[in-house]
Amino acid sequence: MVDFQALIASARVTLLASGNQRGIAFDAARDIPAQTGKVILVTGGAGDLGRTVATEFARHGPARVYIADLPREDGGASVVAAVRAAVGDENAPVRYLGVDLASFESIKTAVREFCAAEERLDVAVLNAGIMRVRPGVTEEGYEIAFGINYLGHALLTRLLMPTLLRTAELPGADVRVVAVSSEGHNMAPKGGIVFDKLKGTFEEIKYYQRYGQSKVAIIGFARELAQRHPQIKVVAVHPGRIITGMAHGLQKESLLFKVTAPISPLFCVSPEIGVRNHLWAATGADVVSGKYYEPVGVPDKETTVAKDTELSKKLWEWTEKALEGIVLE
């Protein structure tokens, strides 16, 4: 039986999401300032969007760009080579950092590796994410979309915070955390986040609602983190309608994605255009900390539930409890 509710809801993201071509004008080659001496980390960096973000940063003279993604047999060498080839510099300062956001232990290991190599972190782009039809859980038993899209990033940020704060004290510092949400946050279940269902598969709701819940959490997290650390600019962004590896994967599981695949190029843009909001938020002069931007440079378009400060405070308290005691040994 066709789930027409799922078709309609998914279509809102696939076909009717905010267009990347709207918003303020931003050209990566022209508008990203020199990144001399800066260290940048991009999660989900092996995927289309993350790899494109890493490539654009690598073109602007940073000290290092870290591509953080799932551990690979080749240690990420092929991904690094692809970015260097795109930059046109076989010696571009790009490194791979293996991390599984569905595992607290993997996150801790990755942060240890990063901190052993670096004394600063100027920009963290929390780009990794999944939308999966089949239910599942993380290593610690959290609903898989919430665990990877939100909680894994929350732990990563928490463990990197001493480095971020130390960097913010340096002369001329401009430290930023860009958390990638989605227009799809409007598909969250009633109330935005169902706290008593975050452990387990939460099969009572649709896969797109589980995804939407995780993206509401990201918006709230950015707002709360910004309030607690005003020396760092923290924002959430929506990348727009893009054909990515995640969309290709969903074509195997979702009728809507399968049906719309042939016409999606008419509605979608390339990753190079899609990452404009990431890059503007990470480097732009007019970024306001704590905001959600959709499309490029346009704030405050999130849903009423995503704007709910009581919900984001509750999320922060829940997160603090969930991550209590997790430290780098």
């050209």: which residue's tokens?
27
Secondary-structure class of domain 4-322 per CATH: alpha beta
pTM of the predicted model as reported, rounded to 2 decimal places = 0.90
Q: What is the pLDDT of residues 168-221, one digit of tens each?
A: 999 999 999 999 999 999 999 999 999 999 999 999 999 999 999 999 999 999
Catalytic residue status for 211: yes
Q: Kindly report which listed range (16-25, 36-45, 103-112) carries the lowest average pLDDT score.
A: 16-25
The pLDDT of 5-20, averaged and rounded, is: 48
Q: What is the pLDDT of residues 151-160, one digit of tens each?
A: 999 999 999 9
- Report whether 229 contacts 175 (CB < 8 A): no
- Report whether 35 contacts 57 (CB < 8 A): yes
Question: What percent of the chain has pLDDT above 90?
Answer: 81
Catalytic residue among 66, 142, 208, 215: 215
The pLDDT of 53-66, averaged and rounded, is: 98
Mean pLDDT, the chain, integer: 90
Sheet strands side by side (includes 292-293):
94-98, 64-69, 39-43, 123-126, 176-180, 233-237, 292-293
Confidence label for 258 from pLDDT (cuts 50, 70 and 90): low
Question: What percent of the chain has pLDDT above 70?
Answer: 84
User: Is the pLDDT confidence value at 19 over 60?
Assistant: no
Dihedral in degrees, nearest 10, Cα atoms 253, 74, 51, 220: 70
Q: What is the pLDDT of residues 302-316, one digit of tens each?
A: 999 999 999 999 999
- pLDDT value of position 21: 52
- pLDDT value of position 138: 99
b/e sequence 253-286, b meaning 16+ C-beta within 10 Å: ebebbeebeeebeeebbebebbbbbbbbbbbbee
- pLDDT value of position 23: 87
User: Is the pLDDT confidence value at 281 over 90?
Assistant: yes
Q: What is the pLDDT of residues 27-49, one digit of tens each?
A: 999 999 999 999 999 999 999 99
- Report whether 188 contacts 207 (CB < 8 A): no
What CA–CA distance (Å, rounded) separates 32 from 55? Answer: 12
Catalytic residue among 96, 142, 207, 211: 211
Tokens linked to 303 = 């849903």
- Report whether 269 contacts 15 (CB < 8 A): no
Q: What percent of the chain is helix, strand and coil (3-state, nearest 5)?
A: 45, 10, 40
What CA–CA distance (Å, rounded) separates 53 from 272? Answer: 8
